Structures are given as structure tokens and as C-alpha cells.
């Protein structure tokens, strides 16, 4: 569960920094959250033919993972190696006047070590989503947004969302986020 939450948080890393800089220039309501986490696990078992590896986490939990054919240096991983997952996340919110219907754009970039390098790589997901404010309760900080496809989401805006009192029904909320996971293996 902790890994899933960290992975989700990572999605929000780099693009959030872009909105943060824009927010400072335009002085609009919004906020940025940045999180960095690291988990290191030990290789307990490995099956090269089935391309599976069993990792023991920092709390002693065991997880078996299937490794795809695109991991070119899988044959270099051995029992006892340390696998480190560095998670980087940023999430930025910018409120502005509406520019059209809500939309969503996502990209994914994967880099891998070259054959013969130490096993590892990077997975980076970037997303840009807009939504319209449908309803807002300033006292309870509850906000209802209509996103792409007409989906409705209601949530409580935490204290990191600044100047909520300046946000109104019909305003557009721009959310940018990046998730980056860097995986490295060492003896």
C-alpha cells in the first residue's frame, strides 16, 4: 500500500514546478506539493527463465515481480543485490479564468540502461488536466470540479491551496503533475 501511495505521489513531480513558477508570475490562487521518497529492497530470489524477482522490503515483506523483456540487463541481477526505487513527485494547481471545456493530456517516458550497464532505468509520467469549478464552500473548503468527460469530483482543498476565497464557480483549475521512478541495482 505504501508503495502504491508513493508511486501515485510521484506522478506529480516535474510539471508541478512549471505551474509554481507561472503562479508566482501571475499571482493567481493555487499551490504546489513536492515529495521525494526512497525504498531499498534486497533480492531474495530470482528466476531468469520466468523473469521474476522476489524482493524483501525494509519491513521484511516479500514481493515477487515479473520483469519484462525490455529490461535488457536482467541477467546481471543476483541474489543479495540491493534494488533502490527513488520516487519523485510534484503536484501543482493553478486557478484561472475558463479557456474552454476540460481536457486531459498525458505522456509517458521510459529510459533503460544500455546492454552491459548496471540494471536500472527511469519511468516518468506527466499529465496536464483541466477542470471547471462547479461548486465551492469556502467555510468547509469543499470544492466540486467537473473534469474531462463530465466526471464530477468533490474534495476538500487542504491548506496548501492558497487564496481559495478568490476561486469562483466557472473558474478553470489546471492540474499538472509528474511521477518519476528511478530504479537502480547495486551489488
Question: For the whole model, what pTM was predicted?
Answer: 0.64
| Grid cell locating 83 | 534494488
- pLDDT tens-digit map of 136-156: 999 999 999 998 888 898 888
Q: Where are the beta strands (DSSP E) in 5-159?
A: 30-47, 52-56, 62-66, 82-96, 104-112, 120-137, 142-146, 152-156
Answer with the residue of higher pLDDT: 78 or 118: 78
- pLDDT tens-digit map of 51-90: 999 999 999 999 999 998 888 899 999 999 999 999 998 8
Amino acid at each position: 500500500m505504501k508503495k502504491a501511495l508513493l508511486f501515485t505521489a510521484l506522478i506529480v513531480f516535474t510539471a508541478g514546478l512549471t505551474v509554481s513558477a507561472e503562479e508566482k508570475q501571475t499571482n493567481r490562487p493555487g499551490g504546489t506539493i513536492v515529495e521525494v521518497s526512497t525504498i531499498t529492497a534486497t533480492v531474495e530470489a530470482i528466476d531468469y527463465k520466468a523473469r521474476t524477482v522476489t524482493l524483501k522490503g525494509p519491513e521484511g515483506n516479500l514481493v515477487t515481480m515479473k520483469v519484462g523483456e525490455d529490461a535488457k540487463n536482467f541477467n546481471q541481477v543476483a541474489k543479495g543485490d540491493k534494488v533502490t526505487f527513488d520516487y519523485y513527485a510534484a503536484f501543482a494547481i493553478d486557478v484561472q479564468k475558463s479557456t474552454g471545456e476540460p481536457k486531459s493530456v498525458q505522456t509517458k517516458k521510459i529510459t533503460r540502461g544500455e546492454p552491459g550497464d548496471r540494471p536500472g532505468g527511469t519511468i516518468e509520467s506527466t499529465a496536464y488536466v483541466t477542470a471547471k469549478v462547479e461548486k465551492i464552500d469556502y467555510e468547509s473548503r469543499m470544492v466540486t470540479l467537473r473534469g474531462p468527460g463530465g466526471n464530477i469530483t468533490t474534495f476538500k482543498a487542504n491548506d496548501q491551496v492558497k487564496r481559495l476565497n478568490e476561486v469562483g464557480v466557472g473558474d478553470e483549475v489546471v492540474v499538472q503533475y509528474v511521477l518519476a521512478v528511478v530504479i537502480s541495482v547495486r551489488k
